[in-house]
Structure 1
Amino acid sequence: MPRHARCKGRMTLKPLTLAATVLALLAFSQVPAACAQTPEDSPVTLDRVFPELKFERPVALIQSPTADATWYVVEQRGVVWRVEASRGKTDKTVFADIRGRVEDGPNEAGLLGMAFHPNFARNGEVFLSYTTDAPGLTSRIARYRSPDAGTTLDVGGEEVLLELEQPFGNHNGGHIAFGPDGYLYAGFGDGGAGGDPHGNGQDPMTLLGTILRLDIDDGNGESYGIPPDNPFAGKSGGRPEIHAWGLRNPWRFAFDPETGALWAADVGQNQWEEVDVIRRAGNYGWNIREGAHCYRAGDCATDGLIDPVAEYSHRDGCSITGGHVYRGKTVPALDGHYVYGDYCSGRIWAMPAGTPDRPGAPRLILDTDLAISSFAQDREGEVYVIDHDDGAIYRLAMREPS
């Protein structure tokens, strides 16, 4: 996707002075971190973390569940790096390398998601979501184990949990995350091409165009079990794995660490990008609607379809990247705001999360030249931004008065 260059060289970012917390262990940049045009009333800027390190097409950043100063960077090509950031020194070592299994081109395929089991400290389980060629493009979720408390991953002991054939090369989704209920959530796009030619978004008999909810601890002899309150559990009319459907390409979702609400970004077709709050049994409208608008006609049936809580047109970007509800202390003005961005334009917005039914209006907080592939959040509630093209990682920081 294209990146803009309209703000090259416009701004210098200053280093952040950190409180004496574990986050002080991160090495912060003391040179300009990113081209970021900050609206005059915005409280936010960006500081680069791990400034001596770069990564190749990173798509995820995850803090270790057992060590605050240890992070994992997921590269689309099929490599996961373990990053140790302590006392001013930052090192990276290979945690996992599955390039031999990953099909990562030419569009949106690759190693797309990673999640630690909630009981990782006890069982050492890690889950990866990636596309493989088997022989056609196929999405796969697999379980692995770390034999040494997160230093390396035993990729030879892969246990495939789920495979989903992809009819086209884009809209693979691929994000995975554990919810506060302990279940594994997984997002998949509508199967690709343009306009959902197979009608997958509105077909709950396929796993395409959905967010799934899986019990990976109690499968009754199967690879995974079905939570009993899934909308189609024990019923006809849909696949029992489905939690919500009607999605085009849910690119990054996250649970609010305070309320548990599930926020997702759904990439649009030609006109609208949208933010959704995902509910059980929710139908989010694709391909009847794109955002809050009829996709193909001036009038369309909307009964049973859930509106996005925010949207923007392609005047402001072309591919939304989902973020997190900010619960940190570094930027108090962002407390309780959902932060998200756009891959093409590099813009970053924040909107008051409020209640899931009544979020506030979004506002632009940063205008950068980053190709934003993902956001991340640490246990302190701070939010990070990942640049897919340059392989750099940034942290939201308080803007110093000019």
Structure 2
Amino acid sequence: MKILPSSVVFLRFFVFVLPLWAISFSGISQQINRGAQVFEMNCASCHNFKEDGIGPQLGGLKGVVDKQYLIDFINNPKGMIDAQVARAQDKFKKFKSYMPGFNHLDPQDIQDVIAYILEKPAPKLPNTKGKLALENPIVPKIAFSGETINLKKVIQFPITNSTEPKTRINKMTFHPITKDRVISDLQGKLYLLNSKNELSEYLDISKYFPHFTNKPGMATGLGSFAFHPLFAQNKLFYTTHTEPEIKGPADFTYGDSLRVKLQWIITEWTLDDAKSATVQGKSREIMRVNVIDQIHGMQEITFNPYAKVGDQDFGLLYIGMGDGGALEQRRGFIPNNIEHAWGKVLRIDPLGRNSQNGKYGIPASNPFVGKKGLDEVFAQGFRNPNRISWLKDGRIIVSNIGQRNIESLYLLQAGKNYGWPLREGTFAIDPSSTTNTVYPLPKDDAKMGYTYPIAQFDHDEGNAMMGGFEYTGKAIPALRGKYIFGEIVRGRIFYIPISEIKEGSQARIRELKLRLEGKEVTLKELSKSNKADLRLGQDAQGELYIITKVDGMLYQIVPNE
């Protein structure tokens, strides 16, 4: 037998064996890279690898969770929970909501994303520094008020999604001239609903903006809209929408080294005819904002409906700008900076031109004009200020979606700091350790200068706050003097008496039960879904409406029979 020199053996190994290993390694690397892309598109809004978010963190699963379990759960999470699979049930009990199924994904995409997930190590345990975490921050339960409201089906909107939610109906208000109800779908459409409940398309902004995106979900797309108070004269209205990554120069940025997941854009539309049943006219961009993730974006734009010509607040556009998911990305400095736009309610004059980009105005009455802070900021300290509405007495209520514990309502006042990312409701959080835990307020809290909610509930009661309206209609006298709001996931409806709204204390929340066609119901039952995806609307007469986004149903609250 011929013995080859060791150098020849090594050379043959290098030439013939090593390339096979390299090819295999390259294939695994490519799969993980593809999985990372699938994860960013479909999973990152709810999951990360550092700590729990909307859903559980996914680091350290290799060797702990069977791959087949992950495949089955991604395809049909509800089925796994209903089948009493222990791990699935455990997560459901902890997070109190169902993950949507992703069986529409290509099987290879699922394999790729699982490969990516299983490569991620377990996160380091947070350093709580000996603090006493609160397991149940708010012990008293929300009680049934003893009152039931009656619903009437109005219309089901056209299906715009192949999977749940079947529609992405998000906001309802009314046309200033025709008084038709105006309803938006995050997919890019604005609808008119006339007095005969006939539906027509008012605008499809996806036809106007080539970079318009409504993917991934979680509030991307057509975010909000508002008519100028002088719409009948100037024919101006405003929309917000998302575009992917950097499609234009941003007016608000947070550092070149950090990623830009999306951009939020405010557009001003000038109509040819204010009474037209479809949008015909021209548009111009007035503001563009980078966000680091797809969640907690520009959830609301609105004008003060009670301000009169000559009032300081007349014609000023309020903008609810969330933190963009910054804290989930361990970038708490983004919202926790008065020089930044994120985690704020902004206020601008769209008819002015003294802003830095020259496309809108800065109201002289804004609290940080001439002081340290961004001129556009009206108030700070929000995670996700998703709705802004006015009481008849002129006060402003903002609803704020919390992290893992507290959902809250605030009285909005100029210059105030509502605490995020160092406070969640009336509790402290520590972003340096974990944002999923709340603690009692420190003894020296008063010197911090934070302003606390007028009402709040914890996640025993619901997962996400949905702001609403003071009832100003005439059809249901029992609702007068009440601010009606709700909970998005479970679809519960609440109210607080306006007489109890006082800064510095929390009004007691009461629950309203629902009845349809003489039968007591829940929105989960009506929508046949475990996530009702509740929204509230108001028409020109002050009457209230309930929307279940998951199935696109619109209900009106009507007098009890």
TM-score by length of 2: 0.60
Q: Alignment partner of 1:386: what SS?
A: strand
Give the Cα separation in 2 of the matches to 1:231 and 1:103: 34
Give the Cα separation in 2 of the matches to 1:331 and 1:121: 30
- Could you tell me how far 1:193 is from its partner in structure 2? 4.9
- Could you tell me how far 1:158 is from its partner in structure 2? 2.2
Q: Alignment partner of 2:335: what SS?
A: helix
Superposition pairs of residues 123-142 of structure 1, within 5 angstroms? 123-133=234-244, 134-135=246-247, 136=260, 137-142=262-267
Superposition pairs of residues 343-358 of structure 1, within 5 angstroms? 343-354=488-499, 356-357=501-502
Question: What's the counterpart of residue 187 of structure 1?
Answer: 320
Check whether the contact 1:139–1:174 (CA below 8 A) recurs between aligned residues.
no
Query: Is residue 365 of structure 1 aligned with residue 512 of structure 2?
Result: yes
Instruction: Sort the Cα spacing of 1:80 and 1:226 in 2 relative to 1 into closer, same or farther, 3 A.
Output: same
Question: What's the counterpart of residue 105 of structure 1?
Answer: 215
Determine which of 177, 190, 193 is the counterpart of 1:83: 193
Code of the residue aligned with 2:451 in structure 1: it is I
- Could you tell me how far 1:216 is from its partner in structure 2? 1.1
Superposition pairs of residues 205-284 of structure 1, within 5 angstroms? 205-220=339-354, 222-235=358-371, 237-256=372-391, 258-284=392-418
Superposition pairs of residues 1-400 of structure 1, within 5 angstroms? 41-50=146-155, 56-68=167-179, 70-86=180-196, 90-98=198-206, 100-106=210-216, 107-133=218-244, 134-135=246-247, 136=260, 137-149=262-274, 150-154=276-280, 157-179=282-304, 180=307, 181=313, 182-195=315-328, 197-220=331-354, 222-235=358-371, 237-256=372-391, 258-296=392-430, 297-300=439-442, 301-302=445-446, 303-354=448-499, 356-357=501-502, 360-366=507-513, 367-369=522-524, 371-400=532-561
Give the Cα separation in 2 of the matches to 1:71 and 1:54: 19
TM-score by length of 1: 0.83
Give the Cα separation in 2 of the matches to 1:51 and 1:111: 19
If asked which structure has higher relative contact order (CA below 8 Å, sep 6+), I would say: 1
Code of the residue aligned with 1:387 in structure 2: it is T
- Could you tell me how far 1:53 is from its partner in structure 2? 6.3
- Could you tell me how far 1:299 is from its partner in structure 2? 4.2
Check whether the contact 2:326–2:334 (CA below 8 A) recurs between aligned residues.
no
Instruction: Sort the Cα spacing of 1:52 and 1:167 in 2 relative to 1 into closer, same or farther, 3 A.
Output: closer
Structure 1: gaps (5+ residues): 6-37
Q: Alignment partner of 2:198: what SS?
A: strand
- Could you tell me how far 1:43 is from its partner in structure 2? 3.7
- Whichever of the two has the greater Rg, that structure is 2
Check whether the contact 2:326–2:332 (CA below 8 A) recurs between aligned residues.
no
Once superposed, what is the RMSD of the aligned Cα atoms?
2.5
Check whether the contact 1:264–1:322 (CA below 8 A) recurs between aligned residues.
yes
Per-residue displacement from partner, 1:167-196 (whole Å, max 9, x unpaired)? 111111321001222210001111205456
Moved more, 310-319 or 348-357: 348-357
Structure 2: gaps (5+ residues): 1-53, 55-77, 79-95, 99-142, 161-166, 248-259, 308-312, 431-438, 514-521
Code of the residue aligned with 1:368 in structure 2: it is L
- Flag the structure with higher strand content: 1
Code of the residue aligned with 2:419 in structure 1: it is G
Check whether the contact 1:43–1:333 (CA below 8 A) recurs between aligned residues.
no
Give the Cα separation in 1 of the matches to 2:466 and 2:397: 11
Moved more, 215-224 or 355-364: 355-364
Per-residue displacement from partner, 1:19-51 (whole Å, max 9, x unpaired)? xxxxxxxxxxxxxxxxxxx95821412222235
Give the Cα separation in 2 of the matches to 1:368 and 1:40: 18
Give the Cα separation in 1 of the matches to 2:533 and 2:545: 10
Code of the residue aligned with 2:377 in structure 1: it is I
